[in-house]
Structures are given as structure tokens and as C-alpha cells.
């Protein structure tokens, strides 16, 4: 009897060991606050202008469904005598297991202590894959892109 029980147990163990793998369940990436360092390119008057070494602070809301993008020290045209911090609020996030997609149809950015309607943001799309963030949008009439890497 003992032998039968032992054999059954071994069989069960063997069966367990040779059981084919279950399909992995997709776990969406949890968005986390991070600073991305990269280049912002602004197109104006038919040319493009690179803002080198720009930091973008990605700051998700608590529910992880929206985030703000704070672009630090950006110039829209080279002749601007100042650089400014511009925050794009209410960017919608869609997370998958491999990336976070960023979308924002139209929003008034925040700068210099208030709303900055002159550079209204439209058509923002982008994504975060691994340590890299990319997005494109229009600031007013200026098509703008960003590509940057997470700073650890």
C-alpha cells in the first residue's frame, strides 16, 4: 500500500513537473516619476532648432492614468533671451507590459506661474519604452519633439 502511495505521489510530482507552462498574464508597467534628459527639437520658419540637454520631469498622478510633463529651460526660438519651464498637464497614460503611451489632444500648458495659452499644446503623442521617452506635439504653431533617457 505504501508503495502504491509513493508511486502515485511520484507520478503526481512528475505530472506537475512536466505540466506545460501557463500563458503569462500581461502586467502593465506602473508609471513612476522620473527625469529624462534629452533633446527638444522645435521646428520654426522651415528650420529646426535643437535644445540640447533638456530635462523633462515625468510626474504621474496617483491613479497612474494621467501625468504631467515639465519641460525645463526650453527655448522655442533661438532668439529668446530667456529659457522657461513649461508644464504640460493632464497627459493621458496607457500602460502595457512593454511601454507607456502618452496622449493629449489639447491642453493649455503652464508656465511663469500660470496658464500659457500662446503655446497651447495639441496633438501630443509619445511613449516610454524602457529608459527612453519620446513624444511629439505642437506648441502653438511650433511642431516639437523630444527624445530622452531616464536619469538614474
Partner 1 sequence: MLTNLLTLLLALTTPVTDSIPASAVIAAKQDAAPERLAVPVSAFGTRTLDAAGIKNPKGLSDLIPGLHMPDYGASLTSTIYLRGFGSRMENPVMGLYVDDIPVLDKNAYDIDFLDLKSATMLRGPQGTGYGRNTMCGVLSLRTLAPGEYDGLLGRIEGGTAGQLRTSLSWYGDRHALSLGYRHGDGWFDNACTGAPVDPYDGGSLRWRWERRLSDRLSLSNSLSASLVKEGAFAYGQYREGVLHPVSYNDEGSYARLTVLEGAKASWTLESLTLDAAASLQWLSDDVRMDNDYTARDIFTLEQRQDCGAGTLDLTLRPTRERERWQPATGLFAFFKGNHLSAPVHFKEGGIQSLILDNANGNIPADIGYLDIRDRDIPILSEFRIRSWGAALYHESVFRLGRWQLTAGVRLDYEGGWMGYDCSARLDYRFVPFMASYKAFRSDYRGSLDLSALQLLPKLSALYEVPSPLPDRHLFLYATASKGWRAGGFNTQIFSDILQNRMMNGLMEDLGVYLDRPAVSVGAENTRYAPETAWNYEIGGRLLDRNVFRLEASLYYIDGRNQQLTVFPPGLSTGRMMTNAGRSRSLGAEAEADLHPGQWTLHLSYGCCDARFVRYDDGNHDYSGNRIPYSPAHTLYAAAGYRFPFATGRIQGLSLLADLHGTGGIRWDEANTLSEPFAWRLGGRITLEWKHFDLYLRGSNLTDDRSRTFYFKSVGNEFFALSKPRALVWGLTLKI
Q: Smallest Cα–Cα separation from 97: which of 130, 62, 58?
A: 130
Q: Smallest Cα–Cα separation from 45: which of 147, 142, 150?
A: 142
The residues facing 148 across adjacent strands are: 38, 133
Region label for 11, one of left (φ > 0), alpha (ψ between -120 and 50) or beta (otherwise): alpha
- The reply on whether position 101 binds partner 1 by CB under 8 A is no
C-beta of 121: minimal distance to partner 1 in Å? 16
- The reply on whether position 85 binds partner 1 by CB under 8 A is yes
Residue nearer to partner 1 on the CB measure, 11 or 80? 80
Give the range of 1-9, 50-58, 90-98, 113-121 binding partner 1 by CB under 8 A: 113-121
C-beta of 61: minimal distance to partner 1 in Å? 20
Secondary structure class of 22 (helix, strand, coil): coil
Contacts with partner 1 by CB under 8 A lie at 72-73, 80-86, 111-116
Amino acid at each position: 500500500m505504501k508503495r502504491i502511495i509513493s508511486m502515485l505521489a511520484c507520478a503526481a510530482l512528475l505530472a506537475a513537473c512536466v505540466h506545460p507552462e501557463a500563458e503569462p498574464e500581461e502586467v502593465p508597467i506602473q508609471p513612476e516619476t522620473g527625469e529624462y534628459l534629452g533633446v527638444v527639437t522645435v521646428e520654426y520658419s522651415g528650420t529646426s532648432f535643437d535644445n540640447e540637454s533638456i530635462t523633462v520631469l515625468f510626474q504621474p498622478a496617483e491613479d497612474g492614468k494621467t501625468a504631467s510633463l515639465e519641460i525645463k529651460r526650453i527655448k522655442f526660438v533661438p532668439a529668446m533671451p530667456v529659457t522657461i519651464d513649461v508644464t504640460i498637464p493632464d497627459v493621458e497614460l496607457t500602460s502595457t507590459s512593454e511601454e507607456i503611451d502618452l496622449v493629449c489632444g489639447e491642453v493649455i500648458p503652464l508656465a511663469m506661474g500660470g496658464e500659457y495659452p500662446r503655446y497651447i499644446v495639441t496633438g501630443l503623442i509619445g511613449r516610454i519604452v524602457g529608459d527612453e521617452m519620446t513624444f511629439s506635439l505642437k506648441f502653438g504653431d511650433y511642431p516639437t519633439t523630444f527624445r530622452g533617457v531616464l536619469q538614474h
